Amino acid sequence: MKSADSKFCQCLYFASNALARKIEKLAVNSWSRVDLSPSHGYLLMMVIEEPGLQPGHLANHLQLQPSTITRLIEKLESRKLVIRTTEGKVTNVYATPRGKDMLPKLKECLQDFYQHYVSILGKDESAKLVQNMIRVTDKLDL
């Protein structure tokens, strides 16, 4: 059944979650080659490109709760891809050499994901959709 045929097709909650599930499926497929979830992949790329980021900064940029960031970091630590250092009350996150070595593959995953959804939606529609989603998300910032 198409989303447009659903009894709830006029509902923002239904429509946004249906879209999120489909996008998640595309993203998970693209990131599977590095055996990381998309969230782990984006976090690792940020830490590689900006060594010493603090968890709060990661939470803000990835639009995730601090507790989620902690779980993501713990998983990446268990895989020896990042390390945390603490100086007083400040915690910084760094990629390990093993994590840094993954950057080319991480960028390939990101490009594969982008190419996949652009091939379905088109370049212009994809760009407009992302811009509109960001604009609406910011308006709903509660």
Q: Is residue 24 part of a domain?
A: yes
> What does 68-82 look like in DSSP terms, one character per residue?
HHHHHHHHHHHTTSE
Q: Is residue 112 part of a domain?
A: yes
Q: Is residue 2 part of a domain?
A: no
Q: Is residue 1 part of a domain?
A: no
The pTM of the full predicted model, rounded to 2 decimals, is 0.89
Q: Which tens digits make up the pLDDT trace of 26-64? A: 999 999 999 999 999 999 999 999 999 999 999 999 999
Query: Which residues, including other chains, have CB under 8 Å from residue 81's CB and lie 6 or more apart?
Result: 44, 95, 96, 98, 99, 102
pLDDT for position 43: 98
Q: Is residue 32 part of a domain?
A: yes
Give which of 57, 85, 87, 81 is closest to 69, Cα–Cα.
57
Q: Is residue 74 part of a domain?
A: yes
Domain count, the chain: 1
Q: How confident is the model at residue 81 (pLDDT cuts 50, 70, 90)?
A: very high
pLDDT for position 55: 96
pLDDT for position 9: 76
Q: Is residue 77 part of a domain?
A: yes
- Expressed as residue numbers, the domain containing 133 is 7-139
Q: What is the CATH number of the domain that holds 72?
A: 1.10.10.10
Within 10 angstroms of residue 76's Cβ, the number of other Cβ atoms is 23
Q: Is residue 44 part of a domain?
A: yes
